[in-house]
Amino acid sequence: MPNVFTYGSLMFDPVWSRIVAGSYDRCDAILQGYERKGVRGEVYPVVVPSSEHSQVRGVVYIGVLSSDLRRLDQFEGEYYFRKTLLVATEEGALSAEVYILKEEYYAVISPEEWDPVQFSTTGIHYFMHHYMKTEEQ
């Protein structure tokens, strides 16, 4: 069962728990060689390859069931591809699935860094109202 590295809305339990059925251990992790950017006109981020010195802080969920991985694939949609990469944790390196923006969609990238603190205080409310209601239907 794969691990899944999350770097945006899925780091937050109200979002994660609405997508997946299982309960998973999680820990903080760092993805090296990528950068996290905002999306123009949206409250969620994307990650794209960057310099070897770039890094993205996020959360890795351990041992995600294939049924939940399929739910995550559907949630992430056509803009992303899933790639197996190494992430660093306090316990050492782990292999994890990461959703990366497809190159043909780079025009949606905002020049600003995505702010997880802002998302946790204001953006998550917008996100839950506009994106999660479709998950219930």
Residue 33 located in a structural domain: yes
CA angle 55, 60, 61 (to 5 degrees): 165
pLDDT at residue 132 in the model:
77
At residue 137, the pLDDT reads 36
Average pLDDT, the chain: 93
pLDDT (0 to 100) of residue 67 = 97
pLDDT at 133: 60
CA angle centred on 119, ends 12 and 106, rounded to 5°: 100
Phi–psi pair at 107, nearest 5 degrees: -65, -20
**Is residue 120 a part of any domain in this protein?**
no
Q: Count up the domains in the chain and report the number.
A: 1
Dump pLDDT digits (tens) for 75-102: 999 999 999 999 999 999 999 999 999 9
Give the CATH number for residue 84. 3.10.490.10
Residue 56 has pLDDT above 60, yes or no: yes
Residue 54 near residue 35, CB atoms below 8 Å: yes
Domain that holds residue 58: 4-113
Residue 124 lies in a domain: no
Q: Determine, yes or no, domain membership for 21.
A: yes
